[in-house]
Structure 1
Amino acid sequence: MLHPYGSTKIQSCLSNQSLIFFGGTKARQIFWTVAEKLDLQGAQIASQKPETNITGATIFNSKGAGIIHVWDPAFNSTRHALVGIRPIEKNYTPAGYPWMIDDTHFFFNEDGIHLTNEAAPLHADAVLNYFCNKLVDVPSKSSQAYCCAPYVGPNGVQKMLLLMSSCAIVYHLLSFFACSKRIFNHERGWLSFPETARVAGAVATISLAVLYCYMADRTALFEKATKAAELGTFLCMTGIALLAGLATFKQNRVQHETTNGNMTALPEYRQVLSRQQTEEWKGWMQIIILLYHYLGLSKVLWVYQFVRLLVSSYLFMTGFGHTTYFITTNDFSFRRVATVLLRTNLLNIILAFVMGTRYDLYYFPMLTSLWFLIVWATVPRNAAPGVDMYRFVRRTAISFTLVRLTLGASDIIEPFFAVLGDAGLGLPGIDGRELFFRFGLDAYIAFIGMITAVLYAKYDTCYGLQCHKIAAVAIPWFQPTSRLTTWGATVVVLAYSIFCGCFTDKFRYNEWHPLLSPLPVLAFIALRNSTRKLSASHSRLFAWFGRCSLETFVFQYHILLAADSRGVLRPRLACKLLGRQGCRGVFDILETAIVVAAFLWTSAATTNALSIITKSLAGLGPKALFVFVGVWILNLAWIPAAATTA
């Protein structure tokens, strides 16, 4: 990969030295391309009347940085080539090896001298990477994705964590074989207990996943490539995913215990935002988000707007789901808080230490954790399951006001995160500006989810259908949305789409997004439950993706994408086996399929492993604090080790 250089980074690289381009027309063209990167307006003026201080040299200075172009005297020679002289050696044309020019891209115009408009910036970036990557603090310190940068090995804490992960894998394998032998011989031992084996297997699974992330994205074992923004591919893959999801559409079923004690599957006749439906919703949204990141479509405005709406939908479900749980179970215990926070944050915190990234890089766990705590603090406590509407409205208004005041004081709070990162506490870093940007984009949608959950619970109470209970007999369908509501939801979606088309850039849209996002989200819920069949059915494929949506979002940064999502992972296994420098067509498809399969297997396996570990840690109660304190003390060495490596 080539690290992109802008004006600021070029200034940093060339602040104490000059970059000299020596050559002919090609070197001169690259020279002016770098000048435009440094100062576009100044380069356009200087290119018309370049400043020439010495014979044959062109000097361009801007913002404390200077670049020089010197003509190669050989190109100004007037001597002619000899004509009619036979060559001494015979010219062998390698016509029998056509792959020498396979996948060759021609970067010159028809004159064979000047670079094309697409090739000149690429050559300029290659020159800047070769010259500046060793001088500027590029992300190569945490990733081996960029060319021309020195290799940076793991620091002390990373080595320790990787060693512990390897030991966990070996221990699990030994325990597995020992357990199998003991059970076979009908012997009793502590290794034969299923719970111990499950926890050891879960730790080994997560360790293997973390090792895979490190090997893929922090070493030169796998190649990394620049994203190719292909809107056509995005639309095609989205269509294929939609067809696959529709092909696995089936009616929801629940397990019910009959009078004789047997379990039987009964169809659900009435479920709005059921577990299967929310998992399906998360699943197809996650597929689109993965395609969006993989193809690098952040500059396509309508795709960006759509993905922003998907993130809002996820946070709506966060507010809705946690509020529904609290008002139906009245479980506000710290055990519940610890379970949710552990399940949400354990993976990304481990990766933050092992991969050397910030905590807020994986922003989904960060946002859902913040909103869970807000929901937990907002929903009123009652003596019995249910909700007091007056207290709920009052506490929601107070919570909303505090959120707005916090966002308004972001300039005051942001420096606190920088001070916290420099304090040497052994904690993952947090970018305060990024945190407030993500938090402010969806400042209202979680409150809408909370209100929707309370109103829906009241609706169920009025009709004697508690949302946490499933009747054992067929329940007559009560249409949750009338035809008028369905048509109104359709109009809202169309109006939202038209309104989004009025924006010319995403910065202006971001100002409106917190106000606009609740409308299409609620409209989608109405449309999704507009008929009995739709409400009582779900897609098994999308629901499977939804169950591991958190893990797929976190892992995509390292084993689907690369360089912390700046590029894409390209193992080039087929090319290496065939001994070819470049592989296209079917080889690319095969390689992508292998990467995606490994990514999905890792995500699914880690989902099950995290559930086991979370349950085990939550079962320890206060004893779990000693585990986390020990890990925190261990990581106090993070900053000194990192400083030594740097």
Structure 2
Amino acid sequence: MANLLRPLASIPHGLAVKVLKVVACVFIVYTVWMAQQLNAYKKREKAECSGVVNGYTQHGAGGLKRLSCSPRHYSSLMAAECFRNSRVQFMGSSQMRTVFSKTVDYVKTAPDHPVYISTKGTALKRRNHEYNFTDIPSSFHFTYLPFVYPKWANAMKDFDEASQKSDLIVISAGLWKGNADPSLADMQKYIRILKSTLPVVSSIVQSSGTKLIWIKNPLNANDNAQQIKQVSDIWSRYQADDMYLLDPRRVRLVHGDVHYGDADYDTITQAIMNIYCNSGIPPATPHLCCQPWSLKLTTVQVMLLVFCIIGAVYWTAEQLWQALARSISQPTSSNTTPTSKSGHLPAGVSPLSAICQCITLLGIVLLYSYLAGRTPLLTKGEKQFSWTSFAVPLAILGILGFVTYQPVKDASVLNRQQTCETRGWMQLVLLVYHYTDGIQVLGLYFVARLIVAVYIFLSAYGHYTYSLKRGASSWSRVAEVLFRLNLYTVLLCLTMDVPYLHYYFVPLISACYLLVLLVAAIPPVAWNQDTSPWMQVIKAVCLAMVLGVYRMLPGPFNTAIMFTPLRYLLLDDNHSLREWTFRFSLDILAVPTGIVCAVFMHRFPDRSKWIVSGSKTASVMTFLSALIIALYCGLMAMSCTSRKACYPVHTYASPVVLVGFVLVRNTWEPLRKHYSQFFDWVGVYSLELFLAQYHVLLADGRRVLVLVEGNPILNICVLTTIFALVSHTVAECTQMLVSAMHSLAPEKDDTQS
């Protein structure tokens, strides 16, 4: 297999990248066009509300889950605010009475909302109900009317009177007798009543501004297919903008084929509140169901858009001018410069042209991200986990990594190719984990947390190794590293209007880098070869102690942060430091562990030789390390009952697992002297891959983008192509911007940078 892939290595890298970009651009144009065609039938005024009532599907143990938008989960307090100053009318059978009771229960349990009850009717169950809430104020009414017949139409007309005019009407009147399997005569009668009643209902809704939700009765599609089609045609003919059809057809009935399960009733109630309330409450999540979509750009987003347009216009004009000059065989008069000393920019490319080119490409990437995550243009699907969908992609990626194994140039412990390869396969595992919703599995969740800890460990190891070998970092190098880490993140934050902590991984890596610089700069400095290496270890231990205190008592530290400009970066959506404290404390010991390993490998060369010696000690340590890793994974997979209970185990056990990973990877000579070229290539773009997944593979990390409906394999192929293109483009643009700034900076001899 490796020999079959060797001819691919002879393809020039530049040509391969250009071909990939052309193919990906064709895919982008095609999929965007197709998405527009698939979504053209949706009315903009209703956004995806038709989806929230029509697209529910059974998921899990009796629960329901959305497919194409993000529903809001309403608490009791939110429900009370939702129905403030509202009159809500329910009408139907015992199924509707249960929905009515569920809705009222949400409001009843809200704080400080007393209620009085008046009851109409004589039968204990088959009676009308009325709830009036004095503090909101609001009222809820239930009319027991299980059949569609002329009296039902008269009741609808009564709801249009001034004294009974409702803001929301929820009905489920129909085939109560023989609910799931009605006779042909029942169906024909049902259709006749609908034909005479729906025009009345539609006119009421259109004239009064009332929202109406019709909960369909589940019917046997095999025996009544023709009649069900007639019902759908009648509904489509008279449906108004504020009429919504809730069709829980895939929910199984319980209790003698009369009622749904309790969890299903609760979900139907949540759907009703989403339909009625989402349009009037500011969304807490992007692309909220049942909320009319409109293009609302913040001032920062408008400024960013204008900036990208200016850069694109300048770069396009320059390219056209150069093409015109070449066509008439005259030299261009653009302010091009030769390649700089550092050799970053290609010859003949000016820094300004390079900057404008990067602005153009990044603008296209950001525009695609915004369209995918903030508009209903592209279809979204719900993430669903299965062990098959999780294991098969990992197996394919593992085969690709295995067939591209090559000898390393430097066989030292944790060499550059090895660390880059490690970042690569870890990033691929995280991609599959996020795409398949592996967060549902507790064991996989902690495996993902361990991967993040390994990434932080490798970053701390690499940065401290640089300080030990190369000396102090200049201010220009610090700025360059932080720029590389944060450019794409900051642009996404501005484009998507989310806080910096939304992409938590980059703040963690940036904090890791700054902590390493701080420890290296504290006397005795790390680059001083004359100081005792043990002093560097002591500094790392002191750092671990300080971080441990922060984990146990974050209050004083967070209070200090709130008085610094850092609060603008570390605050979450709720304007608190809770999310930052959690993320930072979870892998808080990975940084000191990386520093200690760097000191041990580069300042204790004699004591670290046993790792590569192949001795009996090395074999024993390898076995023990593999055993520790297996025990950790087994403990997290089988013994953890909740995340909160196992967070301390992960935090304090991860340093031992990290050291064990280093030993397993390096004590066995064949592993140390070889690396996967495929994983190494992925590792080069690991940061961009991590960030791009939220908007290219996923929609804000919550849902999966669906560019090719009905064909999951083709869909993932299209997404992967665009994903690779975006990640490569962002990485190249970041490098080019750094190179352009180097070219614009005054030349100076800075041997330390």
**Shorter-chain-normalised TM-score: which range?**
0.7 to 0.9
Report the counterpart of residue 156 of structure 2 in structure 1. Answer: none
How big is the shift at 1:209?
1.1
Contact 1:133 1:148 in 2 (8 A): yes
What one-letter code is carried by the residue in structure 2 that aligns with 1:250? Q
Q: Do the aligned residues in 1 keep the contact of 2:447 with 2:633 (CA within 8 Å)?
A: no
Deviates more, 1:152-161 or 1:446-455: 152-161
Tell me which residue corresponds to 2:457. Answer: 316
Which of structures 1 and 2 has the bigger CA Rg?
A: 2
- Aligned: 1:107 with 2:251: yes
- Inter-partner Cα distance in structure 2 for 1:180 and 1:384: 54
Specify the SS of the correspondent of 1:298: helix
Q: 1:598 aligns with which of 706, 709, 722?
A: 722
Deviations 1:612-631 (A, max 9, x none): 213433565599xxxxxxxx
Letter in 1 for 2:296: G
| Aligned match of 1:445 | 590
Shift of 1:295: 2.5
- Which range moves more in the overlay, 390-399 or 288-297? 390-399
Q: Of residues 365, 369, 390 in structure 2, which corresponds to 1:209?
A: 365
Q: Judging changes above 3 Å, is the alpha-carbon distance between structure 1 residues 210 and 156 closer, same or farther for their aligned structure 2 residues?
A: same
User: Which has the larger displacement, 12-21 or 63-72?
Assistant: 63-72
Counterparts of 1:391 and 1:330, CA distance in 2? 17
Q: Which residue of 1 aligns with 2:683?
A: 546
Verify the 8 A CA contact 1:249 1:537 in the aligned structure 2.
yes
Q: Does 1:28 align with 2:97?
A: yes
Residues 86/156 of structure 1: CA separation in 2 closer, same or farther (3 Å cut)? closer
1:166-181 equivalences under 5 Å are 166-181=309-324
Look up the match of 1:488. 624
**Per-residue deviation, 1:309:** 0.6
Among 259, 266, 274, the alignment partner of 1:129 is 274
Does 1:226 find its partner at 2:382?
A: yes
Who is 2:142 aligned against? Answer: 70
Distance in 2, Cα, partners of 1:200 & 1:437: 39
Task: Give the 3-state SS of the residue equivalent to 2:439 in structure 1.
Answer: coil
Distance 1:244 1:64, change over 3 A: farther
1:508 aligns with 2:653: no
Contact kept, 8 Å, 2:467 with 2:527, in 1: the verdict is no
Say if 1:277 and 1:538, in contact at 8 Å, map to a contact too. yes
Larger mean CA deviation between 111-120 and 74-83 belongs to: 74-83
Two-structure CA RMSD over aligned residues (Å): 4.3
1:24 partner letter: S
Residues 83 and 3 of structure 1: CA distance in aligned 2, closer, same or farther (over 3 Å): closer
Say if 2:551 is the partner of 1:479.
no
The 8 Å contact of residues 341 and 369 in structure 1, kept in 2 or not, is answered as yes
Are residues 417 and 485 of structure 1, via their aligned partners in 2, closer, same or farther at CA, if it must alter by over 3 Å? closer
TM-score by length of structure 1 reads 0.77
Q: Distance in 2 between matches of 1:83 and 1:402?
A: 78
Instruction: Deviation per CA, 1:174-228: give whole Å up to 9, x if none.
Output: 3234335546736253354324343332232222211111122122211233322
CA distance in 2, matches of 1:152, 1:422: 31
Q: Could you give the per-residue CA deviations for residues 262-313 of structure 1, whole angstroms, max 9, x where no partner exists? A: xxxxxx4x23211111111111111221222222232311011111111111
Quick check: 1:521 aligned with 2:521?
no
Measure, in 2, the Cα distance between the counterparts of 1:149 and 1:315: 42
The structure-2 alpha-carbon separation of the partners of 1:620 and 1:384, relative to structure 1 and needing over 3 Å to count, comes to farther
1:516-595 to structure 2, matched below 5 A, reads 516-562=653-699, 564-571=700-707, 574=708, 583-584=709-710, 587-595=711-719
Q: Residue 445 of structure 1 contacts residue 518 of structure 1 at CA under 8 Å; is this kept in 2? A: yes
Q: Quote the residue 2:440 is aligned against.
A: 299
Which stretch of the first structure deviates more once superposed, 517-526 or 57-66? Answer: 57-66
With normalisation by structure 2, the TM-score equals 0.67
Contact 1:2 1:146 in 2 (8 A): yes
Task: State the secondary structure of the residue aligned to 1:190.
Answer: coil
Report the AA paired with residue 331 of structure 2.
E
Classify 1:291/1:105 alpha carbon distance in 2 versus 1 (closer, same or farther; 3 Å).
farther
**Structure 1, gaps ≥5 residues long:** 43-49, 254-267, 466-475, 575-582, 624-646
Do 1:353 and 1:428's aligned partners in 2 also have CA atoms closer than 8 Å?
A: no
Larger deviation, residues 551-560 vs 225-234: 225-234
In the alignment, is the contact (CA less than 8 A) between 1:298 and 1:304 conserved in 2?
yes
Q: Verify: 1:238 aligned to 2:394, yes or no.
A: yes
Report what 2:349 is aligned to.
194
Task: Pick which of 308-317 and 399-408 moved more.
Answer: 399-408
User: What amino acid sits opposite 1:226 in the alignment?
Assistant: E
Alignment partners' CA distance in 1, 2:686 and 2:552: 32
1:314 to partner: Cα distance: 0.7
2:590 touches 2:655 (CA, 8 Å); kept in 1?
yes
Where do residues 340-351 of structure 1 align in structure 2 (5 Å cutoff)?
Answer: 340-351=481-492
Asked if the contact 1:279/1:542 (under 8 Å) is kept, the reply is yes
Q: Taking CA–CA contacts closer than 8 Å with sequence separation of 6 or more, which of the two structures ends up with the larger relative contact order?
A: 1
Tell me if 1:411 matches 2:555.
yes
Supply the AA of the counterpart residue of 1:567.
R
In 1, the alpha carbon distance for the partners of 2:109 and 2:399 equals 47
Mean Cα deviation higher: 522-531 or 299-308: 522-531
Mark the CA change 1:250 to 1:122 in structure 2 (over 3 Å): closer, same or farther: farther
**Equivalence for 1:577:** none
Q: 1:161 maps to what in 2?
A: 304
After superposition, the C-alpha distances for 1:349-405 in whole angstroms (9 at most, x for unaligned) are 121112100000111110011111010010253665686424313432443344344
Which shifted more, 62-71 or 374-383? 62-71
Deviations 1:3-50 (A, max 9, x none): 2314253344346656553332443343455567778999xxxxxxx9
Residue matched to 2:421:
280
Cα separation, 1, equivalents of 2:603 and 2:529: 12
Aligned AA for 1:154? L
